[in-house]
Amino acid sequence: MHLKTRSKQRRSIREWYEEFRSTANKHIHTLGNFIYNREHHDIFGRDGKRWRLSFRPQASFNLNDVQTLISLSSNDEQSQKESINDNIEIYIKNLDEYLKVYNNTRSSKNFTIHDVGDCNSINHYGYKNGKPCILIKINKLIGFIPEIDRTDADNKTESECIGIPNIPVRCMGEYLFDQEMLGDIVYYSESGSSDVCGSIDIKHFPYNGKENRNDVYQAPYVWVQFKTITPYVLISVECRVFAANIFYDKIAQRGSIRFQLYLNKKI
């Protein structure tokens, strides 16, 4: 009777161990699929269908507090004697802070735009004279490399920026009214300036994460300067990036970013 009980106990432990090993293997498999899913070809649950653009400046330094309204005042003779509008000062500081990583020469993929027009700290990124520069970039995704080309849907609906040897970036008014109010746009990219679209070179991908706990990656970006904004009008802007493996979804803001511009004084 005593031996039979011990035998049952040994079987119970063995069964418990097999159950534990099976459960652990399932969790490991699930974790592996979360990191890289071979069926859906995504990384950490995200692929080109899920990734978005982002922009700077932000009115807040809190990364969780994303604001999409950029409001600015142009200077006239009277206001030239006064300090720059508080919002503008926040935007300038936000851009200065973000661009610090690009002064780090330890990065293996240094990124530089030589011709930035007014899009620099000395010229207040164009905000002082009502010609704001917006920095547009693709969100970081470990291992992701955008593919030069377009999706089938974009080939059917988008005729601009065709023939760009890199990844095109284009901004426009979200609706017809916005397009009429937005005015002239100039793009400053690593490859040069253009009034048609910007571009991002795929040589800067992929993002491989932090190095020795430091994020020294210099994410490629495009400066978009809005030169002739109509004052006293709230203008909605949508910026898009085009790649064969970045799938646009306006509602979910996949492959795009939206923000609003408001110029409250006429030059």
Residue 42 has pLDDT above 80, yes or no: no
User: Measured between alpha carbons, how far is 48 from 41 in angstroms, rounded to an integer?
Assistant: 9
Q: Which two tokens stand for residue 6?
A: 């011990």
Least Cα distance to 135 among 117, 161, 162, 147 occurs for 117
pLDDT at 165: 82
Domain boundaries, the chain: 1-39, 50-263
170, 184, 225 from 195: Cα distances, Å: 10, 8, 10
Amino acid at 69: L
Amino acid identity at 139: N
pLDDT tens digits, one per residue of 129-162: 999 999 999 988 889 999 999 888 888 887 788 8
CA distance 266 to 235: 15
CA end-to-end span of the chain, whole Å?
99
Among 107-111, 130-134, 215-219, the least confident range: 107-111
Please state the rounded mean pLDDT for residues 19-47.
51
Task: Say how far apart CA 188 and CA 168 lie, in whole Å.
Answer: 12
Residue, of 12 and 249, whose pLDDT is higher: 249
CA distances from 69 to 4, 58, 236, 266 (A): 76, 9, 9, 18
Q: How far apart are CA 60 and CA 75, in angstroms?
A: 23
Which CATH homologous superfamily contains domain 50-263?
Na, k-atpase alpha subunit. (2.60.40.1660)
AA letter at 226? F
DSSP string, 167-200: EEEEEEESSHHHHHHH--EEEEETTEEESS-EEE
At 253 the three-state DSSP class reads coil
Position 52 scores a pLDDT of 67
